Homo-oligomer: A and B are copies of this chain.
Amino acid sequence: MNLILLLPEDLVAPDRARLTGRRLAHVREVQRAVVGKDLVVGLLGGAMGRGRVVHLDDAVLELELTLDQAPPPKLPLTLVVALPRPTVLNRILVAATSLGAARLVLLNAWKVEKSYWGSPRLGPESLREQLLLGLEQAKDTVLPELRLARLFRPFLEDDLPSLLEGGTGLLAHPGSGEGAPAVLAAPVTLAIGPEGGWVDAEVESLLRAGLKPLDLGPRILRTETALAALVGRLF
């Protein structure tokens, strides 16, 4: 937690917040804050700055806020990721959020097991919690837009065209032999397949929709590793 994220309901006055629960515990036990200390804070969806500890006990932390910094800009990036195994999902949500992707789409694909879509980790509370962790990690306050696309073809036909408009679409595709484009028109849409990869028909559909293949080299990387390496390469 590199930034304490404040929710609107934490504010007891425009410049004062009261925290309990997980964030209180973190401030007491990990940051070992004392009265008078300044903490890095940010208001969800708003400005960042510092919060001076004005009261701290077992039950509550009170901060006096100076919110005078803008959050870091988002990357003009939509990540389209085939829905991963539930055990991997949270790491991908945090990685994508912390890297600064403006939008994340979890997409169905042939090799996505149907049971994944029934995971409790896809519940709105669980998803939101991971996105908040990503913001706290990265020192950001602005949630990425998150879409669940349970049907491949409707996403391709109804949603993808507007995402690609005026920008660059890339399909991470081992074996295609294509490097990253020299010039990258924003916004960028980057699609990353499931474990086991896209099936041929999916690759064809995605290329026909306007994505360009992008080969990361002979090494096959875990989704969260590939995603970070691609963002590092492209931005």
Instruction: Give A26 Cβ to nearest chain B Cβ, in Å.
Output: 13
**Cβ-defined contact, A225 with B98, below 8 A:** yes
Is A231 in contact with chain B by the CB < 8 A criterion?
A: yes
The answer to whether A219 touches B95, judged by C-beta atoms less than 8 angstroms apart, is no
Asked if A64 CB lies within 8 Å of chain B CBs, one says no
Q: Specify which chain B residues have a CB less than 8 angstroms from the CB of A225 in the assembled complex.
A: 95, 98-99, 224, 228
- For residue A100, give the distance in angstroms from its CB to the closest CB of chain B: 6
| Bound CA span A1–B44, Å | 40
Oligomeric state, in copies: 2
- In the complex, what residues of B have CB within 8 A of residue A140's CB? 219
Q: Which residues of B contact A232 (CB under 8 A)?
A: 228-233
Q: In the complex, which residues of chain B have a beta carbon less than 8 angstroms from the beta carbon of A72?
A: 217-219
The reply on A20 being an interface residue by CB < 8 A is no
* A66 at interface, CB cutoff 8 A: no
Which chain B positions have C-beta within 8 A of A98? Answer: 219-222, 225
Name the interface residues of A206-235: CB closer than 8 Å to any CB of B: 217-222, 224-233
Minimum CB–CB distance for A2 against chain B, Å: 5
Name the residue among A72, A100, A218 with the largest chain B CB count within 10 angstroms.
Answer: A218
The answer for the CA separation of A45 and B178 in the assembled complex, in Å, is 28
**Cβ proximity bits A57-91 to B, threshold 8 Å, 1 near / 0 not:** 00000000000000010000000000000000001
Interface set, chain A 1-20, CB cutoff 8 A to B = 2
Question: Closest 3 interchain pairs by CB?
Answer: A232-B232, A229-B232, A228-B228
Q: Is the CB of A220 within 8 A of B139?
A: yes
Q: Which of B138, B217, B224, B226 contacts A219 (CB 8 A)?
A: B138
Per a CB cutoff under 8 Å, which of B94, B218, B229, B230 touches A99?
B229
Contact partners of A95 in chain B: CB under 8 A: 222, 225
